[in-house]
Amino acid sequence: MAGPIEIPNFELVREIGRGGMASVWLARQLQPKRDVAIKIVAPGGGNDESFMQSLKQEGDTVAQFNHSNIVTVYACGVIQQHYFLAMEILSGGDLTDRIKAGLSPEEALDITRQMAAALAHAHKRHVLHRDIKPENILFDEEGRAVLVDFGIAKEADKDSEFTRMGCVVGTPHYMSPERAQGHPVDGRSDLYAVGVVLYEMLTGKKLYEKEDTFAISYAHVYEPIPPLPPELSEYQPLLNKLLAKDPDDRFQTADELLEALEQPGRVPTAATRPVSPDDPNATRAMPAGGQSTRAMQGAATQMMDEPAGDSTAAGKARLKKYLLPGGVAVAALLALVLWQWLGTTGIQQKPAALLTPQEMVRMNDLLAAARTQSKLGNVGMAVNNYEKVLTQFDCHNTEALSALQTLDPGKYNKIVKNCAPVGN
């Protein structure tokens, strides 16, 4: 069967899976001889060469990993505007299948330990996964858990439930609160996703089962952590620590998680961890209702981001349903709204320049969050994220400019006026 491209030293045998932009092929490597899986990503909209190069750079990074719980990459590159990645074949199925079959708590903790080890290896090399979910945890013939798809082709839209080689894009079910809000993310965001997967392994259920994407994202930001069944209550402190809304209340590194998994009974909860009153960087206890101060500030910001004049029945129903969980005082929220407004009215203009890899990740996360909010009809939140892209990273970003011109011409004109021409 003819493949979309010819790859030197590899012979494509047959297609074994397909996503929106990616296909996966069973292939034979000629030298050295072995069977491999090859993911091929077709050019995206506009044939953006920089997009392909970013994929190759990420592939090169993962290829340098040497860890038993991270997929082994044999080769990667760009041929005829197609990105390819050759990797080991993992024939033991994925974690989704095992969750459906049922896992013991000991098995769930062992898989969690293996994922923590994989993330410790990746994070020390300054690589985030950003899409941890059961579909991206595969198994070899011996039952070893292997983490695949470190954000490669993460812009692909899935059109099937194919998961054997990590083609399915992420879903909000495993998204950390900070990423759901378009905030900067670090390794603690990956650890939150590990906590979501652990909950699913223990209970067989999603952490938050909601009717739509917005409700799921909202639950991750504001709703309390569901309690485990009584027979699993000994694992609640571990989950509380992994799933804390504020990243400062979670494990700070994957190594910390590994250490806790060796002594699970000694994991402190975020709400009861002792704090020195003299430590300005210490994490404070959670306020009544289970929300951190950061989460309350997020609620105030969301109120500011609601489209002006949203007084329809649907808008009122959404506010009644989603706003003020846990009985947060109206006066406190109004004060936070004022604080957020005073702190965000000034434009932080940054001239267009070469961005660092960390800044590129942050900007792309903001763009992805803006696209999602725009699709959900949350115009205010979409505008806010596009504005951050243009004022904090690149005021010439074509996607953000085009969207903002449509959604908020006033802000668009202001940003364009203050944006220095390219080359200045």
Question: What b/e string do you get for 160-177 counting C-beta neighbours within 10 Å, with b at 16 or more?
Answer: eebbbbbbbbbebbbbbb
Distance CA 311, CA 252 (A): 42
Distance CA 134, CA 168 (A): 11
Contact 188, 256 (CB under 8 A): no
How many other C-beta atoms are found inside a 10 Å radius of the C-beta of residue 33? Answer: 7
H or E segment to which residue 86 belongs:
strand 82-87
Which of the following is catalytic: 35, 94, 110, 131? 131
How many other C-beta atoms are found inside a 10 Å radius of the C-beta of residue 329? Answer: 12
Distance CA 75, CA 56 (A): 10
Is 131 annotated as catalytic? yes
What separation, in Å, do the N-terminal and C-terminal C-alpha atoms of the chain show? 52
- Strand, coil or helix: 382: helix
Q: 357-375 vs 398-407: helix axis angle to the nearest 10?
A: 30
Distance CA 245, CA 251 (A): 12
267: amino acid identity, one letter: V
Distance CA 346, CA 330 (A): 26
Contact 214, 173 (CB under 8 A): no
Residues annotated as part of the active site: 131
